[in-house]
């Protein structure tokens, strides 16, 4: 019987995964020899995947997008890469939305047992990996700055509440994008590197291909050192209507596989929901970097 490592964050999903641990293990045991490893501290899940994942056929992870990112980073460093089964139990679960993985525990486990392996692109950002988004600017601080207690009590509303509080004090993102064929340098209300159809629970990139070897880069301009009303309006419009098909004066759109982004010291980067410091970042898409079990890979490919 193939080996399965089941890792999870006991705090995610308001503790639902911990309460259903035995049920999940029993269902997975129908197909796999299961080892259960709940995380005990920050970074523990990634450590367990590095230590045990090379001998497994599949890593089943329960948690939010940040927990999934931790697994992806560790799998990317393994010589023998296991597949990923995902039980989404975070607050927003953008990756699961993009991949049509159900949030209900029993249905998600059924997908893991009966679904298809989908070769999902990831991207390398210096020495770290991302699976769905890298961003900076307006509203992007909420995922790591909102407290766990607020997330548990208020769910998605906690993110919105934090974002609204910061809306008029967010500094502009001063960055330089260098790519094969050009360079852009300006002040931006929002910077997004997208490998997802969903961000912040909104389908802003519905037609995105998740395994074409490219990411979409969106840069939304602002005129001041602090994001002004025009910048706020552009970002809100972007989230309401989605990624434009082409660039305009105030929104620059690129489809890239390799590029560099250089930010100033006061910029905070959000990588799959985790906080990263400012600096110079070399990005490169890793085509089919991980395999994730999804309900129907053919339907997913057709959007």
pLDDT digits (tens, 9 = 90+) for 113-144: 999 999 999 999 999 999 999 999 887 764 44
Task: Quote the pLDDT of residue 144.
Answer: 42
Query: Closest by alpha carbon to 120, among 303, 289, 295?
Result: 289
Q: Which uninterrupted H or E stretch holds 116?
A: strand 116-125
Task: Quote the pLDDT of residue 103.
Answer: 93
CATH superfamily of 3-114: Probable inorganic polyphosphate/atp-NAD kinase; domain 1 (3.40.50.10330)
Task: Quote the pLDDT of residue 224.
Answer: 82
Per-residue pLDDT of the chain (303 residues; tens, 9 = 90+): 899 999 998 887 778 999 999 999 999 999 999 999 999 999 999 999 999 999 999 999 999 999 999 999 999 999 999 999 999 998 889 999 999 999 999 999 999 999 999 999 999 999 999 999 999 988 776 444 444 443 444 344 334 434 444 555 678 899 999 999 899 999 999 999 999 998 888 889 988 899 999 999 999 999 887 787 888 889 889 988 999 989 999 999 999 999 999 998 778 899 998 888 889 999 999 999 999 999 987 777 666
End-to-end Cα, the chain, rounded Å: 34
Name every residue whose Cβ is closer than 8 Å to that of residue 240 and which is 6 or more positions away in sequence: none
Task: Quote the pLDDT of residue 153.
Answer: 44
Provide the token pair at 269.
């980067």
As beta bridge partners, residue 188 has 173, 221
Is residue 72 within 8 A of residue 36, CB to CB? The reply is no
Length of the chain in terms of residues written: 303
Query: Closest by alpha carbon to 217, among 189, 241, 172, 247?
Result: 247
The dotted CATH code for 129-286 is 2.60.200.40
Task: Quote the pLDDT of residue 118.
Answer: 96
Residue ranges per domain, the chain?
Answer: 3-114, 129-286
Exposure letters 252-266 (e unless 16+ CB within 10 A, then b)? bbbebbebebbbeee
Task: Quote the pLDDT of residue 302.
Answer: 64
Q: What is the pLDDT of residues 87-103, one digit of tens each?
A: 999 888 999 999 999 99
């Amino acid at each position: 019987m193939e080996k399965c490592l089941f890792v999870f964050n006991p705090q995610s999903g308001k503790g639902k995964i911990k309460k259903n641990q035995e049920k999940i293990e029993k269902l997975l045991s129908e197909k796999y020899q299961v080892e259960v490893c709940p995380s005990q501290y920050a970074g523990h899940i990634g450590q367990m995947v590095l230590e045990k994942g090379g001998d497994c056929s599949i890593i089943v992870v329960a948690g939010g997008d940040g927990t999934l990112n931790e697994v992806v980073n560790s799998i990317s460093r393994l010589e023998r890469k296991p597949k990923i089964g995902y039980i989404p139990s975070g607050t927003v679960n953008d990756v699961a939305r993009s991949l049509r993985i159900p949030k209900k525990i029993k249905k998600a486990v059924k997908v893991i047992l009966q679904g298809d392996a989908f070769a999902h692109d990831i991207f390398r950002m210096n020495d770290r990996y991302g699976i769905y988004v890298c961003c900076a600017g307006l509203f992007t601080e909420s995922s790591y700055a909102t407290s766990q207690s607020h997330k548990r009590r208020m769910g998605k509303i906690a993110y919105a509440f934090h974002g609204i509080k910061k809306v008029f004090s967010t500094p502009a993102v001063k960055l330089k994008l260098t790519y094969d064929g050009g360079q852009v340098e300006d002040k931006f209300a929002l910077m997004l590197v997208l490998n997802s159809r969903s961000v912040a629970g909104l389908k802003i990139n519905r037609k995105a291909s998740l395994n074409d070897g490219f990411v979409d880069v969106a840069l939304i301009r602002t005129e001041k050192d602090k994001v002004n009303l025009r910048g706020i309006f552009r970002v809100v419009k972007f989230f309401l209507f989605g990624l434009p098909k082409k660039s305009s004066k105030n929104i620059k759109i690129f489809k890239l596989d390799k590029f560099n982004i250089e930010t100033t010291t006061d910029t905070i980067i959000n990588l799959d929901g985790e906080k990263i410091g400012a600096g110079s970042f070399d990005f490169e898409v890793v085509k089919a970097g991980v395999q994730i079990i999804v309900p129907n890979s053919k339907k997913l490919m057709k959007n």
